Amino acid sequence: MNFRRRKPEEPEINLIPFIDVLLVVLIFLMLSTTYSRYSELQINLPVADAEQIRERPTEILVSVSADGRYSVNRRALEGREVQSLAAELRRVAAAPDDKVVVIVSADALATHQSVIHVMDAARRANLPRLTFASQLPTAGNAAAGGAAAGGAAAGNATAGNPR
């Protein structure tokens, strides 16, 4: 008599029949799927008188270069003084009202004082609506500009009269 224990054989999982069954199920599902056609439904949509698109406010683009030069609506200004910038803003706005928006597009290397001059000129020209243009950070300047910009993509401010 042989009383030695046999080594148990390790079970094997044969994946080929499993893959075959999955392919059959996949083919069955693909063939049995119905494709709905929306053109089969006859729908009459209701008619409505939509409100006309409101007028966009007049935009005045003020660009500030890195060396402090200004341009209004892509037209370069000769001086760098607040008075000449305010006069140009008044001229471009023609009739200052609440619908005119001044968009400040300053170079990243422009001084803070140059941007403050634009805000002061807008206040002097009686243009209270002011916004700042910016661009989304790219991979190259995200680390350098992200902390300085505070993570904001664009900001709004109002140049009001100080009292």
Has residue 75 got a pLDDT over 70?
yes
- pLDDT band at 10; cut points 50, 70, 90: confident
Residue with tokens 């990243």: 108
Q: How far apart are CA 24 and CA 36, in angstroms?
A: 24
Has residue 53 got a pLDDT over 70?
no
The pLDDT value recorded for residue 59 is 87
The pLDDT value recorded for residue 21 is 94
Has residue 138 got a pLDDT over 80?
no
Of 59, 87, 86, give the one whose Cα is nearest residue 74: 59
**Residues, the chain, total?**
163
The pLDDT value recorded for residue 158 is 46
Grouping H, G, I as helix, E, B as strand and the rest as coil, residue 91 is helix
Pairing of strands 101-106, 129-132: parallel
Has residue 92 got a pLDDT over 70?
yes
- pLDDT band at 100; cut points 50, 70, 90: confident
* Residue 138 · residue 100 · CB < 8 Å: no
The pLDDT value recorded for residue 116 is 93
- pLDDT band at 98; cut points 50, 70, 90: low
Q: Most confidently modeled of 1-5, 36-40, 51-55, 73-77?
A: 73-77
Q: What is the pTM of this model?
A: 0.52
If one compares 57 and 150, the residue with the highest pLDDT of the two is 57
Beta strands in 65-160 (DSSP E): 70-72, 75-76, 101-106, 129-132, 155-158
Has residue 145 got a pLDDT over 60?
no
DSSP string, 133-156: ------TTTHHHHHHHHTT-S-EE
Has residue 20 got a pLDDT over 90?
yes
